[in-house]
Amino acid sequence: MPYESLRTYINQYSGSELTDEEFARILEACTPRKYRKKQYLLQAGEVCKYVAFVISGAFRMYSVDDKGVEHILHLSIENWWVADRESALMLTPSRYNIDAVEDSEVLLFTSEKMQDLVATVPAMPKMMARLDQRNFIASQKRLHASISLTAEERYLELLNNNPVFLQRFPQNMIASYLGVTPETLSRIRKKALQK
């Protein structure tokens, strides 16, 4: 079957095994779609209609402030979910943009289909609960970093926890993700290398 990575993901996060029939139902509920580099999956002002599972490629979710500066809130690569869950849940227009950083392939689930699946496939609510917990923990960690650490410490923490990101995304995006300017990140790295 195609998209085995989604199956593996759900099995892993739900702590159970999907039957072939269940997995087939999940695949029926979603739509595969490709995005070219720089193509939008969500634009600020729209309500987020889809939750996307990344099969391959990479995405970023970011806001743009009054001065036109982008602030990246989330980075996602294959085997991650992408969406503005606030907008999707509350049905409010999103403040964020989501676009492809590389040519990518995703599976799109509308919120309704996703709710159906959560109601009918036992593994799904387990996976969702687990996912929400992980999301919460991750954003609490980043909040802690952002409140109590210096730019350099935040960079080193990212280097430890998500080295993949550093290889996968250009440095200016990493800078934005860390909440510093590209110049500052460049200097931080120079300093870190000297040690």
Residues that bind a second copy (CB under 8 A): 63, 65, 69, 71, 73, 85-86, 89-90, 95, 125, 128-129, 132-133, 135-137, 139-144, 146-148, 179
Closer to DNA at the Cβ: 81 or 177? 177
Q: How far apart are CA 48 and CA 135, in angstroms?
A: 18
Give the one entry of DNA, a second copy, none that residue 39 binds, where binding means its C-beta sits below a cut-off of 5 to 8 angstroms depending on kind: none
Query: What is the SS3 string spanning 25-52?
Result: HHHHHCEEEEECCCCEEECCCCECCEEE
To DNA, the closest distance from the beta carbon of 143 in angstroms equals 15
Q: How far apart are CA 154 and CA 160, in angstroms?
A: 10
Q: How far apart are CA 137 and CA 161, in angstroms?
A: 13
Residues 63-82 binding DNA (CB under 7 A) are: 67, 69
Q: Is 179 in the site for DNA (CB under 7 A)?
A: yes
Give the one entry of a second copy, DNA, none that residue 54 binds, where binding means its C-beta sits below a cut-off of 5 to 8 angstroms depending on kind: none
Helices (H) and strands (E) in the chain, counts: 9, 8
Burial of 113 (0-12, 13-18, 19+ CB in 10 A): middle
Note whether 161 and 147 are within 8 A (CB): no
Closer to a second copy at the Cβ: 32 or 136? 136
To a second copy, the closest distance from the beta carbon of 11 in angstroms equals 20
According to CB under 7 A, which one of 167, 190, 194, 195 is a site residue for DNA? 190
Contact set with DNA (CB under 7 A): 67, 69, 150-152, 170-172, 179-187, 189-190
